[in-house]
Structure formats: structure tokens, C-alpha cells
Amino acid sequence: MKPINVGLLGIGTVGGGTFTVLKRNAEEISRRAGRPITITAVADKNLDLARSVTGGGVRLTDDAFSVVADPEVDIVVELIGGYGVAKELVLKAIENGKHVVTANKALLAVHGNEIFGAAQKKGVMVAFEAAVAGGIPIIKALREGLTANRIEWLAGIINGTTNFILSEMRDRGLSFAEVLKEAQALGYAEADPTFDIEGIDAAHKATIMSAIAFGIPMQFDKAYIEGITRLDAIDIVYAEQLGYRIKLLGIARRREQGVELRVHPTLIPAKRLIANVEGAMNAVLVQGDAVGATLYYGKGAGAEPTASAVIADLVDVTRLHTSDPEHRVPHLAFQPDQVRDVPVLPIEEVITSYYLRMRVDDKPGVLADITRILADSGISIEALLQKEAAEGESQTDIIMLTHQVVERNANAAIARIEALPVVSGKVTKLRMESL
């Protein structure tokens, strides 16, 4: 049978991994796909790199637009990244009637609605398993494996850099700044790690998963995003003493009024499996009404793990290449005319529990004043940790875990606590999820 011809845009880490795995496992992949899948054209600005990876056995060019215009190319694999030229290339490939496979979570989270709309009109597929959690087949699970379920919520450790940093801070008692330097030296963090440590990368991925889980458009601009840069090492220690671990979670939850879509450091009970995901690994926990909780775990980045997902998409597209577009799995799992524009709730309307740490004067009556404010706001306390003041010090830490409350009410109570003369500085507030 005639091979499927692939045009590869970008042969960096993931592109190189894709070329290598596709070549190494060509026979196995062909047996699964029903025909050979062959990379026939590679576009990259660095032609020397492209030549060294491919051995020069394919057409090489520094003009990616020539690849998306090539009539011999059936599928375009976009591994360039970013929102700019990648968007132009993907839309041009679709316009030219080519299927697209991409690992570009930023592009889909921000421009996915436009891209999927264009693909729907043209009758081509856009596959994006590699855009979320590297080699973990979470998109496939959400789109197909959990089809019978009304998905209630999902929560994921979906950024390996931040998970590595938090694991090291907990294990070795180091500060955020110290571990970040180490992560950069080891290659886990970029020279400019902003997208990772500020939670933006995780929010791109959570946006994509929320759209598939709930049948809603991509709404990245509505996501609440809070990174780990302001996380204090002492809070990791106190959380541990209370039986919790702190992880940067991407969370999407269905509520009656809308959908919660948020990324932030989160306390999770240490006994939960997802709380024990360490280092640069990823994991996603999905709660369906029929199946209950399911956990997906594995490498969230790297050349071959991500290539695994890219090639899985290539096989899927190859199998369905000649099928009726009406009978393919929809891009966002739900039929396009059934995608509903459900509102994403502002963070003030989120309902969750809280970890509160405050620095207070070490004298009688302080705890009573604080608990009275919480009671007035309808906030009940689940656990309390009051540290003894160090020798010669007049202040100490009080740590409280609350039951669930609307964030707006928690913020109002915190403002009143901070106004007490016996409380120094700001109250540290972290969200908690029992999962």
C-alpha cells in the first residue's frame, strides 16, 4: 500500500526523537497503521542539524512553507512551537488539505478554536496528543477511553520543571532560588524559565484538557494562573508535618454555575498516589461519574516520550486518512455543534479548602481573635498547628487548614486577620484539594 508521506517542521529535541523512533520502529508502526509512514521532507533553520539527524536521506529545507505547500506531503507535523509562524503554517497546511499533528500546547490553548474550526470546514484532522503530558496518552483517554463518563474534574501535575523544583525543595530543604539554579544546570529548566515556574505552560495544558473533558471551547484567557516563585520552603515543611505535599496542579472542575480552570500550588494529602509523583514526572487524575478516579502517569517531556505521542497521532491519522470526516473522533471529543460556551468561573467564585500561615505575637487571646473572625465568615477549621516561639522571640507561626469555602469569603476573612495588631505582615494562603 502507498506510504503516508510526512512533512516534519522542526527537528530539535522532539523532532529528532520522532525521526529516530519512526525509523527504528518502522516495521512495528507500519503493521499497526496498515501502511508505511515515511518522513519525506524536513524543514529547519539549522540545516546542518537536520542533516546530522536524518543522514540526508530526505528532502531538507529551511523554508517550512514549501513543505506545507508540497503536494506529495499528506500529514504535516508541527514541532516549531510558539504562537507566531507556527499558527501561519498550521492554518496554511489545513488550507492545503493536509492533516496536522502538533505538540504545540500554547498554539492550541490560545488559537485552538480557530484552528479546529478551519480543520472542520476542510475535512482534515488536527491531532495533538503530544501537546499535553508528553508520552502519557491523556488526550486519547479523555477523547475516547472515557466517552461513557460525565467527567466531573481533573487535576494534573503537568509541568516537569516545577515538579522537580518542588520535590527538591521538600527532600533537601532548599529555597526556590537554589533549586531553580540547579534545575537549569541539569537542563530541567530553561535559561528563561518563566513559562514553567509561573504556571503558564501548565495552564496551556489544563485549558486543552478542560475543553475535551467538558465539551467547551478553549478559554486560556479565562484561566487563573499562579506559579511557584513565591512559595516559601517553610510552607513545604509545615504541609509535610500536617500530612500534605505541595504540588503545582492544573485543575478543571465542573460546577453548576460554570467551570473552574486554575493552576496554582496546591496541598494534597500525602497518602494520595498523585502526591507521590516526584522529580520531572507528570501525572493526571481524572474523575468520571461511571469509572471513578483514574490516574495517568509517565514522562511529561523528552525526545522519545514525546515522540511516542507524536507517532501515535500519525498512526491514528493514517488509519483514518481516507475515512468520512463525519465519522472521525471530533477534535474536542464532542460533536462540533455540541460544544457549549460554558463560562469559566473567576477565582473568587472557586470553592476549595485553604492552608493559612500567619506570624503572630506570642501572647494569650491571639488564637481566639483569629478563630472568631473565621467563624464570623462561616469558615470552619479542620486542623491547627501552633509553633512554640523560638527562644528570645516574641512571635510565632500559626498554621490552619480550613474546610471548604468560597474564595471570596476566605479573602475577606484574611483581610480582617491581617488588620489585627497582633498579626505581622501578610497571611500566606495556599489552596488545598483532597482529590
Q: Tell me the domains of the chain and their CATH numbers.
A: 4-135+303-338 (3.40.50.720), 138-298 (3.30.360.10), 349-432 (3.30.70.260)
Q: How are beta strands 224-225 and 259-269 bridged, if at all?
A: parallel
Distance (Å, rounded) from C-alpha 224 to C-alpha 222?
Answer: 7
Strand partners, 283: 157, 297
Q: How far is CA 220 from the centre of its chain?
A: 12
Does the annotation mark 205 as catalytic? Answer: yes
Nearest to 118 by CA among 274, 331, 268, 263: 331
Q: How are beta strands 381-386 and 281-288 bridged, if at all?
A: unpaired
Strand partners, 313: none
Compute the Cα dihedral for 239, 269, 186, 204 and give only its sign.
Answer: negative
Cell 515522540 maps to which residue? 307
State the DSSP string of 372-384: HHHHHTT--EEEE
Contacts (Cβ under 8 Å, ≥6 apart) of 60: 41, 42, 43, 44, 47, 50, 51, 54
Which cell numbers in the block locate residue 71?
503536494
Catalytic residue among 87, 205, 247, 299: 205
Distance (Å, rounded) from C-alpha 201 to C-alpha 158?
Answer: 8
In this prediction, residue 88 carries a pLDDT of: 98
Cell 479573602 maps to which residue? 411
Q: Maximum Cα–Cα distance for the chain, whole Å?
A: 83
Contacts (Cβ under 8 Å, ≥6 apart) of 428: 232, 235, 355, 356, 357, 358
In this prediction, residue 35 carries a pLDDT of: 94
For residues 302 and 310, is the Cβ–Cβ distance under 8 A? no
Amino acid at 385: L
Distance (Å, rounded) from C-alpha 435 to C-alpha 432?
Answer: 9
The whole-model pTM stands at: 0.95
Distance (Å, rounded) from C-alpha 168 to C-alpha 178?
Answer: 10
Question: One digit per residue, pLDDT tens: the chain, 435 residues?
Answer: 789 999 999 999 999 999 999 999 999 999 999 999 999 999 999 999 999 999 978 999 999 999 999 999 999 999 999 989 999 999 999 999 999 999 999 999 999 999 999 999 999 999 999 999 999 999 999 999 999 999 999 999 999 999 999 999 999 999 999 999 998 998 888 889 999 999 999 999 999 999 999 999 999 999 999 999 999 999 999 999 999 999 999 999 999 999 999 999 999 999 999 999 999 999 999 999 999 999 999 999 889 999 999 999 999 999 987 677 777 888 888 888 899 999 999 999 999 999 999 999 999 999 999 999 999 999 999 999 988 888 888 899 999 999 999 999 999 999 999 999 999 999 999 999 999
Which cell numbers in the block locate residue 399?
498554621
Helices (H), 70-199: 85-95, 105-122, 138-140, 160-172, 176-186, 194-197
Contacts (Cβ under 8 Å, ≥6 apart) of 13: 302, 303, 306
Distance (Å, rounded) from C-alpha 65 to C-alpha 89?
Answer: 7
Please tell me what DSSP assigns to residue 274: G
Instruction: Give all strands (DSSP E) within 86-197, no chain letters.
Output: 99-102, 126-127, 151-157
For residues 182 and 279, is the Cβ–Cβ distance under 8 A? no
